[in-house]
Chain A
Amino acid sequence: MEDQKAPETKEEPDLQYVQYEPAKEEQFLPAIRQLISKDLSEPYSIYVYRYFLYQWGYLCYMTLDANNSLIGVIVCKLEPHRSGTFRGYIAMLAVQETYRGRGIATNLVRLAIEAMASRSADEIVLETEVTNTASLKLYERLGFLRSKRLHRYYLNGNAAFRLILYLKEGTALKRPDPAGQGHGHVHEHGHEHGYGMGIESGMTS
Chain B
Amino acid sequence: MADASLRHSTASAQDQNTILTNNESGCSKAQEQPLRHPLGGITPKIHDVTEKFTKACNALEVGQLVKDDYFTLFESIGAIEIMDPKMDSGFLQPGETLEDDYDCLTPLLPEELIGIMDQLLCYEMAWHTGYPLSQTLFTSLYIDKLLWPETRILERAQFYRGDIPDDKRPGPLLQVLRAYCLALIKGCDFVIAKIAARDYFEEEDFCTQTYNRVLFVSIPMDVFLRELDSAMEVVEDESLEINTALRSAIHSRLEFRKDFLRAQDLDLPLDLISYSWPTILENLGTLKNTHQLGQVVPGAFSTKMQRRLASTVPPRPIVELEFKDALEKLQQLCTDCKEATRFISLPQDPLEYQSFLWFFASRSPAPLAYSRSYLATLLFHPDVLQTSVSLPLSDVKTLVFPASPVLDPVNWTFSPPRNPMLPKPPRLQLAMLVDEFVDRCGQPYLDLWVALGQNRCRLRRMLTHVITGWDMLQADASSVDADISQAAEELGITDQVLEFSLSTWVYHKKLWMIEKIILLGFEQDIYLPDEFSGMYLFLSLIATRRKELLKRVEAHYLRRGEQLLKSRNLRDAQEVDDAGPYLDSLLAEAEGVASLSLALARFYIILLYLHMLPLPKRPFAKEELRYELRMKPFLSLQPPEAPPFEDFKAHTQPYGDFAAPDPAFQLDLNDMASDLWTEVDRHLKAAKEAFADVKKMGPKAVKAEGVATAWNKDVQSALASCIALGVAVAGVKGAVSKTNAASSESLGIKVVIPESGAGKRYAEGWIVAKILKME
The B interface is mostly helix, strand or loop, or mixed, namely loop
Stretch in B79-87, B91-99, B262-270 touching the partner: B79-87
Instruction: Using CB atoms, name the residue of chain B closest to A171.
Output: B628
Question: Distance in Å from the Cβ of A87 to the closest Cβ of chain B?
Answer: 13
Instruction: Using CB atoms, name the residue of chain B closest to A188.
Output: B5
Interface members, chain A 158-177 (any B CB < 8 Å): 159, 161, 164-173
Interface members, chain A 187-204 (any B CB < 8 Å): 187-197, 199, 201, 203
B63 close to A169 (CB less than 8 A): no
Which listed residue (A42, A144, A145, A187) contacts B86, Cβ 8 A?
A42
B78 close to A195 (CB less than 8 A): yes
Q: How far is the CA of A201 from the CA of B79 in the complex (A)?
A: 13
Write out, one digit per residue, whether chain B residues 64-95 have a CB within 8 A of any chain A CB (1) or not (0). Answer: 11010110111111111100101100000000
A26 close to B629 (CB less than 8 A): no
Question: Distance in Å from the Cβ of A141 to the closest Cβ of chain B?
Answer: 5
Q: Does chain B have a CB within 8 A of A55?
A: yes
A143 close to B626 (CB less than 8 A): yes
Interface members, chain B 311-345 (any A CB < 8 Å): 314, 316
Chain A residue numbers with a CB within 8 Å of B5 are 188-190
Stretch in A11-19, A58-66, A97-105, A149-157 touching the partner: A149-157
Q: Which of B74, B314, B457 has the most chain A CB atoms closer than 10 A to its own CB?
A: B74
Q: Does chain A have a CB within 8 A of B27?
A: no
Q: Does chain A have a CB within 8 A of B525?
A: yes
Write out, one digit per residue, whether chain B residues 272-300 have a CB within 8 A of any chain A CB (1) or not (0). Answer: 00000000000000000000000000000
Question: Distance in Å from the Cβ of A93 to the closest Cβ of chain B?
Answer: 15
Question: Distance in Å from the Cβ of B204 to the closest Cβ of chain A?
Answer: 5
Q: Does chain B have a CB within 8 A of A184?
A: yes
Q: How far is the CA of A147 from the CA of B526 in the complex (A)?
A: 6
Q: Does chain A have a CB within 8 A of B56?
A: no
Q: How many A-B residue pairs have CB under 8 A?
A: 173
B62 close to A142 (CB less than 8 A): no
Chain B residue numbers with a CB within 8 Å of A179 are none
B629 close to A192 (CB less than 8 A): no
Instruction: Using CB atoms, name the residue of chain B closest to A123.
Output: B629
The answer to whether A172 and B628 touch (CB under 8 A), given A47-B76, A113-B620, A151-B458, is yes
A26 close to B77 (CB less than 8 A): no
B629 close to A46 (CB less than 8 A): no
Interface members, chain B 528-571 (any A CB < 8 Å): 528, 531
Q: Does chain B have a CB within 8 A of A115?
A: no
Q: How far is the CA of A203 from the CA of B234 in the complex (A)?
A: 57
A192 close to B4 (CB less than 8 A): yes
Q: Which of B84, B460, B617, B625 has the most chain A CB atoms closer than 10 A to its own CB?
A: B625
Q: Does chain A have a CB within 8 A of B621?
A: yes
The size class of the interface chain A forms with chain B is 35 or more
Chain B residue numbers with a CB within 8 Å of A113 are 620
- 3 closest cross-chain pairs (CB), A and B: A143-B621, A25-B63, A189-B6
Q: How far is the CA of A148 from the CA of B524 in the complex (A)?
A: 9
Q: Does chain B have a CB within 8 A of A119?
A: no
A191 close to B74 (CB less than 8 A): yes
The answer to whether A142 and B625 touch (CB under 8 A), given A151-B458, A194-B77, A199-B73, is no
Question: Distance in Å from the Cβ of B425 to the closest Cβ of chain A?
Answer: 43
Which listed residue (A44, A77, A172, A188) contacts B629, Cβ 8 A?
A172
Interface residues of chain A, those whose CB is within 8 Å of chain B, are 22-23, 25-26, 29, 42-48, 50-51, 53-55, 77, 82, 110, 113, 117, 130, 140-153, 155, 157, 159, 161, 164-173, 184-185, 187-197, 199, 201, 203
B632 close to A172 (CB less than 8 A): yes
Instruction: Using CB atoms, name the residue of chain B closest to A195.
Output: B77
B526 close to A149 (CB less than 8 A): yes
Which listed residue (B65, B76, B314, B617) contacts A42, Cβ 8 A?
B314
Interface members, chain B 488-543 (any A CB < 8 Å): 524-528, 531
Q: How far is the CA of A178 from the CA of B452 in the complex (A)?
A: 31
Chain A residue numbers with a CB within 8 Å of B74 are 191, 194-195, 201, 203
A173 close to B77 (CB less than 8 A): no
Chain A residue numbers with a CB within 8 Å of B457 are 148-151, 159
Q: Does chain A have a CB within 8 A of B771?
A: no
Question: Distance in Å from the Cβ of B591 to the closest Cβ of chain A?
Answer: 30
Chain A residue numbers with a CB within 8 Å of B77 are 44-45, 48, 194-195, 197, 199, 201
B525 close to A146 (CB less than 8 A): yes
Instruction: Using CB atoms, name the residue of chain A closest to B314.
Output: A42
Q: Does chain A have a CB within 8 A of B455?
A: yes
Question: Distance in Å from the Cβ of A198 to the closest Cβ of chain B?
Answer: 10
Q: How far is the CA of A22 from the CA of B635 in the complex (A)?
A: 42
Chain A residue numbers with a CB within 8 Å of B72 are 187, 201, 203
